[in-house]
Amino acid sequence: MLFTGEMYGVQLDQLAVLLGASLPRARAVAARWRRLGYAQSARLGPGPAWTWLTRAGLTACGLRYAATPPALSRLAHIRAVTEVRFALEATSDYRRAGAFWSGERRLRARMGGRAGVREHLPDGEIHWPDGAPVPWAGECWAVEAELTRKTVARTAAIMRELLSRTGDYGCPAADVAVPGRPPRHARALYVCSAAARPTVTRAREALGPLGARIEIRDLPPSAAFGHATPARPGTTGTTGAAMTSEASGGIMASRAAGTARGGTALSAGLATAGGLGTGHGSWPPA
């Protein structure tokens, strides 16, 4: 539920991947949340139905967000960001480092309604804890999922803003970009659709030396709007399997392999890995 709340909402196939369960099982879980008044479901666009948290659900998770269904105009984007998060959280380095994801919804809530047209929020941030067994420990990455083409100038301006920001989101205006302070985002990761990639690449080149801190990758095929992972009857507990074996490749690897191992301690498993954590390594089961 916390994942669903953080990401605005998830589609049923994504919920199945998240739970490591089959589609019918995910549907049953969503129905249970609905019965408890914690969530609502509806078919908002192409592909499987969407599930999002109600006010009661957000309160149960301790999230102080406005309870609204995912905006229709942003469905494709929300799905893409969720898939990017899945892909990153499934990596061995991510789990080993105990990294954590901070989504746009959390950043926006931290802004407290002060996010104006002049301030760009990334789609997510990845925080790599200090002392983690990865070379980039201590860094904070900005993550952007790009589906559509903006202008090169606009994209470059966003990149520059992300890389030059020094303050936290919601900090006083005087701290947003303080010369002399280290930047908030050590690098920015752009995960692009095929259509957006040329623009993003050109924008990075336009940045000059600053562009060296931009990473560009392709969106996974499952990020396509309307794409639904075919449910495999009897599939369960892939995440639990990922937790038991670091080398298994986590969520995405299990998803690709379609392994059907036992294990249902999804939340506990993710908490151990820090995959969906709040940044403190703890994860209350939803």
Q: Which is nearer to another protein, 66 or 212 (CB)?
A: 212
Q: Which is nearer to another protein, 214 or 266 (CB)?
A: 214
Closest approach of another protein to the CB of residue 165, in Å: 8
Taking the complex as a whole, how short is the minimal distance between the CB of residue 224 and another protein, in angstroms?
14
Of the pair 144, 161, the CB lying nearest another protein is at: 161
What are the backbone dihedrals phi and psi of residue 191, each rounded to the nearest 5 degrees, phi first? -110, 115
If the CB atoms of residues 36 and 178 are measured against another protein, the closer one turns out to be: 178
Phi, psi torsion values for 257, nearest 5 degrees: -75, -25
Select 3 or 94, whichever has its Cβ closest to another protein: 94
CB of 214 to another protein, least distance (A): 8
| Kind of pairing between the strands at 140-146 and 10-11 | unpaired
Alpha helices in the chain (DSSP H): 2-6, 12-19, 23-35, 55-61, 75-89, 92-97, 104-111, 152-164, 197-206, 238-244, 250-257, 266-273
CB of 187 vs another protein, minimal distance in Å: 6
Q: Which is nearer to another protein, 201 or 272 (CB)?
A: 201
Pairing of the two strands 187-192 and 214-218: parallel
Q: Which is nearer to another protein, 40 or 92 (CB)?
A: 92
Judged by the rule CB under 8 A, the positions of this chain that interact with another protein are: 87-88, 90-94, 116-118, 134-136, 153-154, 157, 161, 163-166, 172-183, 186-187, 189, 191, 201, 204, 208-220, 249, 252
Alpha helices by DSSP H, 127-249: 152-164, 197-206, 238-244
> Which is nearest to 42 in space by CA: 87, 82, 75, 80?
75
In the bound state with another protein, the residue whose beta carbon lies nearer, of 106 and 213, is 213
Nearest distance from residue 181's CB to another protein, in Å?
Answer: 6
Pairing of strands 100-103, 39-42: unpaired
Shortest distance in whole angstroms from residue 126 CB to another protein: 10
Kindly state the smallest distance separating residue 204's Cβ from another protein, in Å: 8
Residues 6+ apart with CB under 8 A from 32: none
What is the smallest separation between the CB atom of 98 and another protein, expressed in angstroms? 14
Quote the CA–CA distance of 38 and 59 in Å, as a whole number: 9
Read off the tokens for 103: 């989504």
DSSP 188: E
Strand 140-146 versus strand 124-127 pairing type: antiparallel
